[in-house]
Amino acid sequence: MADYYSYYGSSFSFSTSNSSSNVVKCPGPSTAIITGVSVMCVVGAFGIVSNLALFLIPFLMKAFRTSPNALVTNLALADFLYLIVNAPFSIEHELFPCFQFGLIMCKIQNGFTVTTQAVTVFSLTAGAIERHFALLSRNPQSTSWNIVIFTICTIWAISLFLSIPTVLASHTVRDILCVPLPLFEISAKLHELLRFLFLYLLPLVIIAWCYTAIFRELQNSRQLTSKIYQSRHLQQARKRSAFVFLSIITLFAVCYLPYFVYNFIFHFLSELFW
């Protein structure tokens, strides 16, 4: 996910020849930036196609309409919306650092970043919990659709609620910078700390616990032997779903860690670099 704090890593030229106003000159893109943006476009296009495919497959193929796949579909929808709504702003910013879309779009962009991130994380967490109970439950049936639909609606409601502080705090500076939080203030540091705890650390702990319990039970418990034998196809399908979730979670843990490390450095150790 592109980091909105990168707006403050850009170089701006302020002309003060007129005492009543400052003229801001935004730097143009260099060759290196154009190359990086090209890579971003390729990765973004791949993400759009792959997430759109994950989202549409359950609607086109009845065999994939299962409760765990519904959570994967919800995750794919969040990633797809981020790539459609937020990624173009990130690409445009790399080419032209000055924010040109006004206060309303500044608030929408930053709020949607938090929303889609939260939906992704909560979908992964809910998927791990669902796999835990489905694989270890004596009831061979998957989680009911009513529970899944309620879970997805709850995920979106909580995610939208969590984005409210960012939406309210987002503002523009001289109409050329889009700022999501009061820079270097206690409120911004607290916001990022809570964001790290509830959108990264705590979900990872829950997910790790769920899959550790699943692994231990499948390896050590003899009580599941007859059940696995009687419904081998169902158990294999569940194992595949668990493997897919585990792969996604591993990528999430690895890819999001640099994001939060950068935000921590920006807010808590900024005096060392700026």
Radius of gyration of the chain (CA): 22
Among 25-29, 201-205, 258-262, 265-269, which range has the highest average pLDDT? 201-205
**How do residues 59-104 score in pLDDT, each as one tens digit?**
888 878 787 788 889 999 999 999 998 888 888 877 877 888 889 9
- Overall size of the chain counted in residues: 274
pLDDT of residue 268: 80
CA–chain centroid gap for 239, Å, is: 25
Map residue 62 onto helix, strand or coil: helix
List for the chain the helix, strand, coil content (%; round to 5). Answer: 75, 5, 20
Q: Tokens 């730097």 belong to which residue?
A: 27
Could you tell me if residue 136 is left (phi over 0), alpha (psi between -120 and 50 degrees) or otherwise beta?
alpha
Distance CA 200, CA 194 (A): 10
Binned at pLDDT 50, 70 and 90, residue 203 comes out as very high
CA–chain centroid gap for 79, Å, is: 7
Structure-model confidence comparison of residues 189 and 236, the more confident one: 189
In the chain, the domains with their CATH numbers are 4-272 (1.20.1070.10)
Q: Confirm if 132 and 214 have CB atoms less than 8 A apart.
A: yes
What pTM was computed for the model?
Answer: 0.78
Q: What is the mean pLDDT of residues 212-218?
A: 75
What tokens does 229 get? 């034998």
Q: Choose the weakest-confidence range: 111-125, 149-163, 213-227, 244-258.
A: 213-227
pLDDT of residue 12: 47
Distance CA 257, CA 254 (A): 6
Q: Confirm if 67 and 143 have CB atoms less than 8 A apart.
A: yes
> What average pLDDT is seen over the chain?
78
pLDDT of residue 142: 58
Residue type present at position 8: Y
Burial 25-39 (b: 16+ CB within 10 A, else e): eeeeeeeeeeeebee
Structure-model confidence comparison of residues 85 and 25, the more confident one: 85
202-220 and 232-268 helices, crossing angle to 10°: 150
Q: From the DSSP assignment, how many helices (H) and strands (E) are in the chain?
A: 10, 4
